[in-house]
Structure 1
Amino acid sequence: MDREPEELQFLGLFGIYKESFKIIFSWRKIFNKITLALVLPLTFIFLAHMQISALIFSKIIHNEDALDYTRSDTAAYNRLSDRISSEWVAFWLFKAAYLVFLLIFSLLSTSAVVYTIASIYTAKELTFKKVMTVVPRVWKRLMVTFLWSFLIVFIYNVVAVVFLVLALITVNPGTIGGTTLLIVLVVLYFSGVVYISIVWHLASVISVLEDFKGIKAMRKSKALIKGKMWIACAIFVKLMIVFILIEFAFEKMVVHGEKLGIWSRVFSGIVCFLLLMQLFLFGLVVQSVFYFVCKSYHHESIDKSLLADHLEVYVGEYVPLRGKDIQLEQFEV
């Protein structure tokens, strides 16, 4: 980034998008390598999961339908029952493996992109080999932050279900007042989900660049977002809408697109794959740029030389940015 630190605070929504595109195109060689090594497998895992899950589930549904028309206490009935049980086990084992690999490549991709953006910001020498050396050493910090965010989301959903049950018990959903209350609760629920997601994504960047992880990174993220909440919401919602559209198109034209023909499905799958892969990369770059925008907005200008020192691999270990070592300059606007 060739902008001065104090200039970043004035970037709006489209300014952040423009800066992100500029960084990707200016450093496309290294971003292409990161994409091929980490983002491409992440995209493949996500889309392949949709296709394979649909195939396994369709077999389960087919066998369950056949079981309904098979007389019980017969050899055929027992075979079908055993087959369905095995397919359900395979289905959930596949889901578990999918989530593990999705999480691993998601954390590795985040680590690589955040480290790369920070290196560009400090104008330090950057190579793909150095990125891949640092990445395995920082993703554990991201894992801690992810587990905390997962716990927060779990508790949030439990509380939301309790409130929803109480609402259904105390009011009649068929009345205008009851319907209005349910709509308000749904809006509040999704607003909370968006807020938690925004805090988590920024906390992921903080976990890589600062000496914060887990709940401390979430608190730091919450503080940084103040004053930039509407921009953060706009970024998240727009990226999520594009993500949902790509996912919907893949499901309709590839997963359930038998009527389109094999070549149309292949072409649609390739297009969706390329779009989603670029969306993942762009989203990671945007959240990294947004971090520096928030730091600038709160007049916390990280000394580039000190940040560069902390991004170096020191005696084979990645050293995160520590509050006691870094000077946050207060600059005048």
Structure 2
Amino acid sequence: MDKPQEEMQEVGFFGIYKESVKTILLWKKIFTQITLTFILPMSFIFLAHIVVAEIIDWKIEGDEERLYRRDGDSHLYHKLSSEWIGYWIFRLIYMSFLLLFSLLSTAAVVYTIAAAYSGDEVTFKKVLKIVPKVWKRLSLTFLWTYLGFFIYNVITGVVFFIWATTTTDSTFAVVVFYILLSMYLIGFIYITVIWQLASVVTVLESSYGLKAMMKGNALIKGKRWLSWFTFFGLYCIFVGILILFYLFVWYGFVGILVGLVCVFLLINLFLLGYVVQTMLYLVCKSYHREPIDKMSLSTQLGGYLGEFEPAFKANKDIQLGQTQVQV
């Protein structure tokens, strides 16, 4: 992050990745500590969940097939019911831990970059202190994002249902399907970009929840396609890692080695993604001519540690990049 903020608006697709990698290498020690504490467990949980869920699915499918052949077997029916309950409990626990580590990782990485930018001393001890105080605000932002994704998926489901019930088996129907699928993916990544920027806003500014989502949406104006392609690139790498994992994880010793490689790749991808979202925030702020005052930023960050009264508690509106009126 060696560019002045006013020059960040000139950073393009490859420039965001370049600046992100530079930042990680410059603060290699603290990012390594953050990775080992938050991102490594999250990556392991994510891939381990795939294996465990697949094994449970195989078992449930086998029991369902046996129940179909032995209609009326009450013992097998109760066993299958217990397996389904266990499966959903497992999914709930998995999602809870994944979300927790994701929010903690976001708070840690965004704070580290912001503190380094403002010239404050960055230590892992400070990161550990600030993370519990930020993740609650991030949770509220995530809940609004989840609501947005839910509504978006419901509308998409209705559209695909209409397509399935009104079209015939023809080339035109297939073309329409792929057009709808492409539009869905574009919208999905677009909402993801807003969420990522809203997460940075939640940590660095006084807004959180719906207001942070609205601020994130406002920030990407003029940089929509840059934002979209930046995260599309990350998603492509993510899908590639998952495909590699699925293809080889079941092959004994080779599967274990490939699994370890996938964990390593996923760790680095997640870390890069968290840094990229902060870099994109800086690019968008620069594009909108919203200079980030280092003094205000330092005060905002210090408020989390009790060094200053934070803006969102002091009923002040230290929106970074906006001139504050002195009374």
TM-score (norm 2): 0.91
Of 267, 277, 286, which residue of structure 2 is paired with 1:296?
286
- Using the TM superposition, name which of 319-328 and 180-189 deviates more: 319-328
Q: Residues 33 and 128 of structure 1 are in contact (CA less than 8 Å); yes or no, is this contact kept in structure 2?
A: yes
- Cα distance between partner residues in 2 of 1:47 and 1:308: 37
Deviation at 1:160, TM superposition (A): 1.9
Q: What's the secondary structure of 1:247's corresponding residue? A: helix
User: Structure 1 residue 307 and structure 2 residue 297: aligned?
Assistant: yes
Spell out, residue by residue over 1:50-75, the C-alpha distance to the aligned partner (whole angstroms, 9 max, x if none): 111111111112222333343x45xx
- Cα distance between partner residues in 1 of 2:308 and 2:189: 35
Deviation at 1:149, TM superposition (A): 0.9
Matching of residues 180-191 of structure 1 within 5 Å: 180-191=175-186
Q: Residues 13 and 231 of structure 1 are in contact (CA less than 8 Å); yes or no, is this contact kept in structure 2?
A: yes
Q: Residues 173 and 179 of structure 1 are in contact (CA less than 8 Å); yes or no, is this contact kept in structure 2?
A: no
- Cα distance between partner residues in 1 of 2:247 and 2:96: 26
Aligned length: 320
* CA RMSD, 1 decimal: 2.0
Q: What's the secondary structure of 2:267's corresponding residue? A: helix
Q: What's the secondary structure of 1:89's corresponding residue? A: helix
- Cα distance between partner residues in 1 of 2:161 and 2:125: 53
- Cα distance between partner residues in 1 of 2:44 and 2:174: 41
Gaps of 5+ in 2: none
Taking structure 1 as reference, are residues 57 and 233 closer, same or farther at Cα in structure 2, changes over 3 Å only? same
Aligned partner of 1:292: which letter?
Answer: L
- Cα distance between partner residues in 2 of 1:177 and 1:269: 41
Q: Residues 311 and 317 of structure 2 are in contact (CA less than 8 Å); yes or no, is this contact kept in structure 1?
A: no
- Determine the structure 2 residue equivalent to 1:25: 25
- Determine the structure 1 residue equivalent to 2:47: 47
Matching of residues 152-301 of structure 1 within 5 Å: 152-169=148-165, 171-254=166-249, 257=250, 260=251, 262-301=252-291
- Determine the structure 2 residue equivalent to 1:319: 310
Deviation at 1:314, TM superposition (A): 4.6
Deviation at 1:37, TM superposition (A): 0.6
Deviation at 1:234, TM superposition (A): 1.2
- Cα distance between partner residues in 1 of 2:133 and 2:91: 27
Deviation at 1:292, TM superposition (A): 0.8
- Cα distance between partner residues in 1 of 2:305 and 2:274: 26
Gaps of 5+ in 1: none
- Determine the structure 2 residue equivalent to 1:12: 12
- Identical-pair percentage: 44
- Determine the structure 1 residue equivalent to 2:91: 95
- Using the TM superposition, name which of 57-66 and 160-169 deviates more: 160-169
- Cα distance between partner residues in 2 of 1:36 and 1:54: 27
Taking structure 1 as reference, are residues 275 and 323 closer, same or farther at Cα in structure 2, changes over 3 Å only? farther
Spell out, residue by residue over 1:214-263, the C-alpha distance to the aligned partner (whole angstroms, 9 max, x if none): 11111111111011111111111110011111112112211xx2xx3x22
Q: What's the secondary structure of 1:324's corresponding residue? A: coil
